[in-house]
Amino acid sequence: MTQQTPSEPLLQVAPSPHLHASHLSTQRVMLDVLIALIPVCAVSCWVFRWYALKQLVLCELTALLTETLCAALRRRKSPVWDLSASVTAVLLALSLPWNAPAYIAIIATVVAIGLGKAAFGGLGFNLFNPAMVGRAFVMLSFAREMGASGYVAQVPGLDVISQATPLTAAKQYVAALASGATVADSVQTAFQNIPPLSDLFLGIANGSLGETSVGAICLGGLYLCIRKTIAREIPVCMLLTAAAMLGLMQLLGFTDDGFGALHHLGSGALFLGAFFIATDPVTSPLTRRGRCIFAAGLGALICLFRALSSYPEGVMFAVLFMNAMVPLINRYTIRKPIGGPVPGSAASPKA
């Protein structure tokens, strides 16, 4: 038997119809995602100035280097031209705080590409979303730089970053109210200074680099939906579940009325996660029903994490958790062939 490298299959398999399947190459899909990310990056660079640019460039360079190095270790040609490493790098950079030191961006990217993807055998074999693996690694390692205080600083000319992120401010305020003690002045001020919904839509708010502007994210997301690059049911299911949960939580009094369901929807990485992170084709289920379950689980988990965990935001952990569920979901949502399973076969319910 001849030795075959797994990365170069004999048969190129693409879904039918095959006449115009050229747009379904990995490279084209990844290019679409990169194009869709342009508005998000632009807003990010407008709001956070060169801090955003710095993180983007750092992550991108590190990703390309790591990808090439990992391929060289396995004596393969560098797969940087499939652009998947670039997408991972941009998503990772957009999920970092603007103030994260350079070593955090570099470590996160090396872990994302090296541990999150290459260690599993490269693109298509990874269980978990690489960008989120990288972020989780630095989040757990460098809690101070990545936590709430990592977002706040006084820089002249950049007013946005002098306030806590909306979710952190809300979390601290609700926690202070719940504990029964008097609310500290700083917490009170931060809560009152939470930007209005219009600012959250435009992106004039503190937060991770790419998560602030709902408008820009929706613009990119719509492009992806129209191009059919991503499975539309994922953002739809995820946002609907999250909206329902958040509405319920507001009714039940888990959130403060000053920071209700709409504010919760507009802040944090919910939209970025829904359009760009959860839709990673490798780490989401194969069937439509499976993707709906996956997305609904994500939306529900994010709300639970926001309300009940000690972290203000839960997109990262929710994505990693649901990624782990994907093989199970795939197993339970196998489509039955038309006409039902063949009688007497192993797939038939009554053997």
Residues that bind another protein (CB under 8 A): 101, 103-104, 107, 115, 119, 137, 140-143
C-beta closer to another protein: residue 104 or 218? 104
Q: Which is nearer to another protein, 144 or 336 (CB)?
A: 144
State both tokens at 152. Answer: 């706040």
Which residue's structure tokens are 């030795």? 3
Residue 137 vs 271, nearer CB to another protein: 137
- Rounded least distance, CB 121 to another protein, Å: 12
Q: What are the structure tokens assigned to 215, written together?
A: 């408008």
Tokens of 340: 């039902």
**CB 107 to another protein: min, Å:** 8
Taking the complex as a whole, the smallest distance from the CB of residue 143 to another protein amounts, in Å, to 7
**CA–CA dist 65, 71 (Å, integer):** 10
Least distance CB 137 / another protein (angstroms): 6
Tallying the residues shown for the chain, one arrives at 351
Q: Report the residue number, 137 or 173, with the smaller CB distance to another protein.
A: 137
Identify whether the C-beta of residue 161 lies closer than 8 Å to the C-beta of residue 98.
yes
> For residues 50 and 103, which CB has a smaller minimum distance to another protein in the complex?
103
User: Smallest distance from the beta carbon of 71 to another protein, in angstroms?
Assistant: 16
Nearest-approach distance from CB 135 to another protein, in angstroms: 12
CB of 160 to another protein, least distance (A): 26
Looking at the Cβ atoms of 80 and 107, the one nearer to another protein is 107
Residue number with CB closer to another protein (146 or 274):
146
Identify which of residues 137 and 151 has a Cβ nearer to another protein in the complex.
137
Q: How far is CA 312 from CA 167, 172, 286, in A?
A: 6, 9, 31
In the complex, what is the shortest distance from the CB of residue 141 to another protein, in angstroms, rounded to a whole number? 4
